[in-house]
Homo-oligomer: A and B are copies of this chain.
Amino acid sequence: MHEFKLIQKYFTWDKPPRDVLTTVGDDAAVLDIPPNKQLVTSIDTLISGVHFPENTAPYAIGHKALAVNLSDLAAMGASPRWFTLALTLPEIDETWLEGFSAGLKALAQQHDCFLIGGDTTRGPLSISIQVMGVVDTGKALLRSGARAGDKIYVTGTLGDAAAGLQSILNNSNRNKNSSLENESVAFCQQRLNMPTARVVESNIIKHFASTCIDISDGLLQDLSHILEASDVGAELDLSQLPLSSALMTLFSSTTKGSQQAINFALTGGDDYELLFTIPASREMNFLGIVKGKAKVTCIGTITNAEQNIITDKDGNRLTSSGYNHFE
C-alpha cells in the first residue's frame, strides 16, 4: 500500500478544525495559535518490546502512544490541540493498522486533539508522537514552584501499571485462584496498556497547583525532579499512598506482599498519574472544587530539608531504588 493511501485509509478521521490551515497533503502543517496563549509541546517515542510488551494489542498501542503525550500536556496544565505521528512499521499489516488507528482515533477524538501530519517509514516498529497544546500565557505548571509547607498530591492510584507489567512478564494471568484475582490482574494490565491521561483533572489542578509532573518513571523519581527544580525536600505519609483494590487484592495478603505493593506505588513507572503540589493556603479551596470531579489524595508535604531528600513520617530516607527499610 502506498504511503498516501495508508494515511488516507487509517489516519484521516475528521475535517480539520478551523485553526488547522493545512494538514496532510502539504510540506508542513500551518496552525493558528490563539492570542494570549503559549504553545506547549512534547514528544515521546514508544518502542516495541521496550515501552510495551511485544504482544500488546494494537488498539492499546495506539491509545498509549497518544496518552503518554497527553499526560505531558496535562502535567503542564495545557489543553491538547494537535499532534503529529511518526510511525515506523516493519510491514503493512492491515489488521494491526486498523486496531492501532482505532485506539489512537478514539483517544484523539475524546480530547479534540487533531492529527495534523506525520511520517510513515519502514523499519522496526516504533511510534513517535509529538503533541501540541496551548496554555494561557505565563500559566504553565512548571516543576520549580514548590515551597516548604505545600501539600503533595497525586491523582488516581499508584503502582497498578508496575503490577500489570510484572504479571505479564511472569505470565501470571493464567493460574489465579479466584475470579477476583483474575479481574485484578486484568485491571492492572489495563492500567499498564491503556493509561488514562489526566487531562480532566489537570484542568482543575492548574488553577491551584504550584508544581505538577506526570508519574512516568515512578513516584519517588518524578518527585525528585520537582524537588531538584524547586530546591526543597519532601516528607511522604506512606499510609496515605492511594492503592487500588486490585493491587490490594493481589498483594495485601502477606507483609512481604504489602511491601511489594508499596514499592510498586513508590517506584513503579507507567502510571501516568499527576503528582502536584498545592500551597496550604489554597488547599481548602482546591478540595472544595475537586470533590466529586476527580480522585486526588494528599500523600505528604514539601519540606525545607536539604534539596531532594525524601523521607517517610518516621524520618527514614526514601530513595528511588525503593522502599526497603522493612528489610
Given contacts A28-B73, A73-B28, A140-B22, contact A45 B124 (CB under 8 A): no
Q: How many copies does the complex hold?
A: 2
Query: Is B47 touching A88 in the complex (CB atoms < 8 A)?
Result: yes
A123: chain B residues at CB < 8 Å are: 47, 49-50, 124, 126
Instruction: Report if A62 contacts B (CB, 8 A).
Output: no
**Selected contact of A28 from candidates B32, B40, B85, CB within 8 Å:** B40
Query: Is B116 touching A41 in the complex (CB atoms < 8 A)?
Result: yes
Given contacts A33-B33, A72-B27, contact A47 B121 (CB under 8 A): yes
A44: chain B residues at CB < 8 Å are: 86, 119
The chain B residue with its CB closest to the CB of A4 is B225
A73: chain B residues at CB < 8 Å are: 27-28
**Selected contact of A130 from candidates B126, B130, B225, CB within 8 Å:** B130
Q: Report the minimal beta-carbon distance from A2 to chain B, rounded to whole angstroms.
A: 11
Bound complex: CA of A51 vs CA of B49, how far in Å? 23
Q: List 27 A-B contacts (CB under 8 A).
A: A22-B140, A25-B225, A25-B229, A27-B42, A27-B75, A27-B213, A28-B75, A28-B78, A29-B40, A29-B41, A30-B38, A30-B39, A30-B135, A31-B38, A33-B33, A33-B38, A33-B39, A39-B39, A43-B84, A43-B130, A45-B119, A47-B88, A47-B121, A47-B123, A50-B121, A86-B128, A124-B124
